[in-house]
Amino acid sequence: TTLQDLAKEYDISAERVRQLENNAIKKLKSAVAA
């Protein structure tokens, strides 16, 4: 794999992690609000 491939993969996984974090935060917030 080239450095570019790694960067692409990392960007995708970093974005995925961000999405999961956002979902978790939303769930926490609604659980706290409930």
Q: What is the pLDDT of residue 32?
A: 93
User: How far apart (Å, rounded) are the C-alpha atoms in residues 16 and 24?
Assistant: 12
Rounded-to-integer distance, Cα 18 and Cα 4, Å = 21
- HEC string of 9-21 equals HHHHHHHHHHHHH
pTM, two decimal places: 0.61
Average pLDDT for runs of 10 along the chain of length 34? 90 93 96 90
For residue 11, the model assigns a pLDDT of 92
Question: What is the pLDDT at residue 1?
Answer: 77
Write down the pLDDT at residue 8.
93
